[in-house]
Amino acid sequence: MIAFVIVFSLIITSVGITYTYGLSTLDEYQEGEQKRNAERAFVALSDNLGDIEDRQVQGRSGELRLSGGTVSVQEDTQVNVTAPNWNRSFGEVGALTYQYEGTRIEYESGAVFRRDGDSRRVMLSEPEFQCSGSHAVVSIVTLSTPDGTAFSSDGTAQVIAELDRRYLRYPLNRSVTSSSDTAAVDHVNVTVNSSKTEGWSDYFEEAGWVAQGATGDEITYRCAPDSGQLDLYVRQTVIEIRFIG
């Protein structure tokens, strides 16, 4: 009888401990795995959008398991590109954003960011900006949605991306092929006004751009050769995003 009581007590205690601590650990693991899956899905979506941006593809699609999270396009970012005697503002660039349990994973103009809680944003995938001694490329991806609404589900959402318009913003002369033509500039400045400025700043610093100033959510970086001029190419790709659940 004593042995039975002891064994029974051990079983009840083990079940209690497992329920108390094991269940919360399992929930944490599932939550972490969902965030990692969303991260990988956004990097894949970035590659798909890059195909539209680079390869003249008309559309791409991908799947994102929401698990109660919300996906939307938030149009609160502005980018301004300035060169001598030329300036172009790109308003409401649009960020594809997934929110789940305090974590935000975001695609913005070719870059993918992740932020957990109040921590700094980390760039997971880089945009198609280039800065070298001979040339600079600024590729802006503008996202929009037909209805502008967020999409939430416990299941999987299909993200449909379709090309709307594609522009070569600079040089204005599309036949330009060398630095002796109007593509040549002394420098180019890119100003980003976004909630993701810390991630953009880290990228610009590592990619060879030089900081020109920062105010609040606005940062400015410059690409310039050590001497002479560089060829500048600025393009814009407008993509329409739809969600199907």
- In contact, 101 and 31? CB cutoff 8 Å: yes
- Domain of 47 in residue numbering reads as 2-244
Show pLDDT as tens, one digit a residue, over the chain (245 residues).
Answer: 666 556 556 666 665 555 555 545 655 656 678 788 888 989 999 999 999 988 778 999 888 888 889 999 988 899 999 999 899 999 889 999 999 988 999 999 999 999 998 888 889 999 999 999 899 999 999 998 887 678 888 888 899 999 999 999 999 755 444 444 568 999 999 999 999 999 999 999 999 999 999 998 999 999 999 888 999 999 999 999 999 87
User: How many whole angstroms separate alpha carbon 133 and alpha carbon 51?
Assistant: 27
pTM to 2 decimals?
A: 0.83
* Domains of the chain: total: 1
pLDDT of 179 reads: 42
